Structure 1
Amino acid sequence: MNKTVITILVIFIAIITIAITIDHNNNRTVDWTENFNEKSIKPYGVSVFYKELPNLFKEQKLKTIYYTPYNYFYANSEEGNGDHIAAGNYLLIGNSDYLDVADVEELLIFAGQGNTLLMSDYTFPQKLLDTLQLTVDVIKNKDSISQLSFSDAALKSKNSNIDKSESAAYFSKIDIENFKTLGYANDNPNLINFLKIPFEDGSIYLHLEPKIFTNYNILTDERYRYTEGALSYLPDATIYFDSYTKYFNSQYGDAEEKSQLSWFLEQPSFKWAWYLTIILTLLFMVFNAKRRQRIIPIVKPLENTTVGFVKTISNLYYETEDHKNLIAKKFTYFLEKIRSDYNLDTTTLNEEFITKLSQKSGKKKETVQKTITFINWLRTKNEFSEETLLKLNKYIEEFYS
């Protein structure tokens, strides 16, 4: 047995030993992020629910929608002129906050033309709530346990509890006529959390506990029975499963499809075995190469003076106390970045603009309101102090934090 073979065997044994040791000592942690992603096997993904939909709606198509409702329904219309041809059940589980006014209007049109819309989230876009004359409120749960009950006596056996639930959402104001209560929270009929709302020729189902559809709850005890009960209200028709945010937005979890190698790299033992193989192979090549690489001189990279220039200019404005000029440049740059990042028109900074910016940026409306209101106030002033400059800078930093 030559020296090369012996070296390779030693490297292989070392890698296996280290990988097994790392895997044995690794403290596995559970990611409880609520991503509601149909491809995620994490506790609060919905891959189990998604895979069971074809069994619950036999002989019906399951279409996963990776576009906003406005774009999808417009593309799937008669010659693209906006007349809907999509028909069936539209399901949206969690993350409904991405819907803007145009998306909500398209969903309402879809439901109004004899179709069914089912949305489960902790709250819903304001446009939808205003249209249906609803208000959502929250109550704190005792012992982080939430009880979910059906109002229909035939479904009482499917009632369920879920844990790890700090609060329960409910409809605190219901002004629409002919609505039907389908369920409530914590054995309290006043805490309505599941509604059926007739809308023109179709129906809208609004549900306020999306966690019941996640992997953890469906696979725990018999909580899946509640999910079956909730879906039993839907007609046997094509299912449109909304996956827009889960596919394009990384904050909601692992949405993009991954390669087979990425799965291995998520396993600590395989990951370190892979890295060690690469490192030791490189070391083997370096120490056994017959040709030697000559010394490569170090070339100092060109110094980037852009940052220094910006600091110099900003210090010049600051030290000369030209607060007005510096403030004008700060909010001009801020508005330009909003136009660039969120494709919003900043000509009129009104309440509608604040709402859209809050939805697209994911920031709390209060934070956006405070920043934009202060900028509008600055536009009415001619004299500025250092305190005003610092306050503007603080608001902008809060927005981007």
Structure 2
Amino acid sequence: MKDFKIYITMASLLLIGYVVAQYNKPKPVNWQSTLYYKDKIPFGTYLLYDRLKDIYPEAELSRTNKSAYNVFHGDSLQQGNYIIIAKSITLNKFDFEAMVKYIKAGNSVFMAAFEWRGFITDTLKVETRAEYASKNVSINFTNPQLRAPNNYVFKRDIANQYFSALDTAKAIVIGKNYADHGTFLSYKFGKGTLYLCATPDIFTNYSLLTPQGADYVAKALSYLPKAQNVYWDQYQNGDIPEDISPLRVFFSNPALQWAYYLSLGSILLFVFYEMKRRQRVIPVIEPLPNSTLEFVTVVGQVYYEKRNNANIAHKKVIYLLEHIREQYRLKTSKLDQEFVNTLAQKTGIDEGFSSSLISAVNFVSTHQQITDMELIQLNKLIEKFYSQTGYNGK
């Protein structure tokens, strides 16, 4: 029992030391672009979602986690602005028609994404692509009242996306990059407007913490009118709803999380130690003897005593031809010179050796009496073929 206490004490001290070291270790920066409204990493949208109240102080902010059709269809939404910031946006015909109906009623929808899929791309004829420039890509607005004296320049290629294709008869370009490619579009539907932006990373924490990023986002969202309701879409970005599990309190707090892991580890150590101490002696079971060698010896003795060389040779030829059919997909019904050439090409063996092998096979197939030397010569040729083609007989 004393040894057990020493063991548990040492293991606990080592585990506590590891937990303390891990807790005090600086966390590496996560540069993944999630666009998740709760993420405080560089490419999350926590700041934008948190400061929407500053942009729309009189509006009620709500989140939605349903498909576009279920959100826009019926009377589930009030008059207002609908914002979607996602890595990709997919709308089918019914989603798009329900959204357009909502826009025509005098509402605005703002979308920012890297990629557009489904019915919306076919209808609006939009495609996106990235600029591959040696320097940081700059962008600006086309409206003289919003256009900055100097283009907005962003690091880490967050402004490289642009619309490589668009329907100029429907789309109004309200933002461009340095190469005169559209990055921000608007579409008029009835009393409302649809806005498409190809640079969603500009709306992330990384961008908003810079003066020019904050200025660009404020001007971009200024296109949306004042409204009593502002909706933030979670569905298109695949945002997972809040955790409702009983352990959510533990995992939301790092200290409680490590305490949980420490307790769980201690219990597992105790169970493992007790299981090891109380385990019954397992009897030694002798493995079954390998009688393969004895079987082979008996079969070989039987064939040797019968001295039926032709039977052995025919079986070897049948096995060889079956191997060639299965492994190299060759027909063995006609073993002529064409077959010799094809076999050499398929297997990579010498054409002369291929000719000798097939000649021996044809000889055995046409003779009922085979001498010991002829059988030995056939066996050598077959074994040489297997060796050169890398076949081990399994």
Secondary structure of 1:182's partner?
strand
The 5-angstrom pairing of residues 299-314 of structure 1 reads none
1:175 & 1:152 partners in 2: Cα distance? 17
- After superposition, give the CA deviation of every residue in 1:319-373 in whole Å (9 maximum; x if it has no partner): 9xxxxxxxxxxxxxxxxxxxxxxxxxxxxxxxxxxxxxxxxxxxxxxxxxxxxxx
Residue number in structure 1 paired with 2:287 = none
Q: Retained in 1: the 8 A contact 2:140–2:148?
A: no
Say which SS state the counterpart of residue 155 (structure 1) adopts.
coil
Q: Does 1:195 align with 2:185?
A: yes
Among residues 124, 138, 150, which one is paired with 2:116 in the alignment?
A: 124
Quote the offset at 1:89 in angstroms. Answer: 0.9
Q: Secondary structure at the match of 1:19?
A: helix
RMSD: 4.0
2:47 maps to amino acid? V
In 2, Cα distance between the equivalents of 1:155 and 1:90?
22
Q: Can you list the C-alpha shifts for 1:173-226, whole angstroms capped at 9, x where unaligned?
A: 43325x53321112x3x3111122221221111111111011222124541111
Compared CA separation, residues 236 and 135, structure 1 to 2 (3 A): same
Q: Is structure 2 residue 199 aligned with structure 1 residue 209?
A: yes
Question: Residues 76-87 of structure 1 correspond to what in structure 2 (within 5 A)?
Answer: 76=75, 86-87=78-79
Tell me, in whole angstroms, the C-alpha distance in 1 between the residues paired with 2:169 and 2:16: 65
Asked if the contact 2:88/2:114 (under 8 Å) is kept, the reply is: no
2:230 equivalent to 1:239:
yes
SS in 1 for 2:147: helix
Deviations 1:104-126 (A, max 9, x none): 11111111111111111134335
Is 1:168–1:185's contact at 8 Å kept on the other side of the alignment?
no
2:242 to 257, 276, 281: 257
What SS does structure 2 have at the residue aligned with 1:174?
A: coil
The Cα of 1:274 is off from its aligned counterpart by: 4.6
Distance 2:130 2:15 in 1: 53
Q: Which amino acid aligns with 2:168?
A: D
Counterpart of 1:48?
47
Change (3 A) 1:199 1:109: same
Which residue of 1 is the match for residue 304 of structure 2?
none
Letter in 2 for 1:280: S
1:155-234 equivalences in 2 (<5 Å): 155-157=146-148, 159-165=151-157, 167-177=160-170, 179-186=171-178, 188=179, 190-234=180-224
What letter is aligned with 1:260?
Answer: V
CA distance in 2, matches of 1:295, 1:131: 73
Q: Which of 150, 155, 161 is the equivalent residue of 2:141? A: 150
CA contact (8 A) 2:38 2:46 kept: yes
**Structure with bigger gyration radius:** 2
Instruction: Report the AA paired with residue 147 of structure 1.
Output: S
What letter matches 1:180 in structure 2? I
Q: Which residue of 1 aligns with 2:368?
A: none
Shift of residue 68, structure 1, vs aligned partner: 0.7
**For 1:312-351, what aligned pairs fall within 5 Å after superposition?**
none
The two structures have a TM-score, normalised by structure 1, of 0.58
SS of corresponding position for 1:244: coil
SS of the residue aligned with 1:212?
A: helix
Please list the CA deviations of residues 288-336 of structure 1 after superposition, one character each: whole Å capped at 9, or x if unmatched: 99xx8564999xxxxxxxxxxxxxxxxxxxx9xxxxxxxxxxxxxxxxx
Q: Percent identity?
A: 25
Q: Indicate the residue corresponding to 1:381 in structure 2.
A: none
How far has the Cα of 1:281 moved from its partner?
4.5
Q: Distance in 1 between matches of 2:157 and 2:281?
A: 60
Residue 118 to residue 174, structure 1, CA distance change in 2 (3 Å): same
- Identify unmatched segments of 5+ residues in structure 2: 284-325, 327-394
Maintained 8 Å contact 1:146/1:168: no
Pair 172,287 (structure 1): closer, same or farther in 2 beyond 3 Å = closer
- Name the CA distance, whole Å, in 2 between partners of 1:119 and 1:61: 19
Query: Do the aligned partners of residues 281 and 131 (structure 1) sit closer, same or farther apart at CA in structure 2, a change above 3 Å counting?
Result: closer
Cα separation, 2, equivalents of 1:283 and 1:60: 55
Report if the CA contact (8 A) 2:84-2:236 is conserved. no
TM-score, normalised on structure 2? 0.59
Paired amino acid for 2:188 = P
Other structure's SS at 2:146 match: helix
Structure 2 counterpart of 1:72, which letter? V
Q: How far apart are residue 65 of structure 1 and its match? A: 0.8
| 1:100 aligned partner | 92
Partner of 2:322 in structure 1?
A: none
Q: CA deviation at 1:271?
A: 6.1
Secondary structure of the equivalent of 1:142? coil
1:345 maps to none
Q: Is the 8 A contact 1:170 1:208 kept in 2?
A: yes
**Alpha carbons of 1:235 and 1:296: their partners in 2 closer, same or farther (altered >3 Å)?**
farther
Counterpart CA distance in 1 for 2:164 and 2:271 is 67
Is the alpha carbon distance of 1:108 and 1:67 closer, same or farther for their aligned partners in structure 2, counting shifts above 3 Å? same
Distance in 2, matches of 1:65 and 1:286, equals: 47
In the TM superposition, what whole-angstrom CA distance separates every residue of 1:372-396 from its partner, at most 9, and x where no partner exists?
xxxxxxxxxxxxxxxxxxxxxxxxx
Contact 1:91–1:239 (Cα < 8 Å) also in 2: yes
Distance 1:141 1:294, change over 3 A: closer
- What secondary structure sits across from 1:196 in the alignment? strand
Q: Tell me which amino acid in the other structure corresponds to 1:19.
A: V
Cα distance change of structure 1 residues 138 and 169 upon mapping to structure 2, 3 Å threshold: same
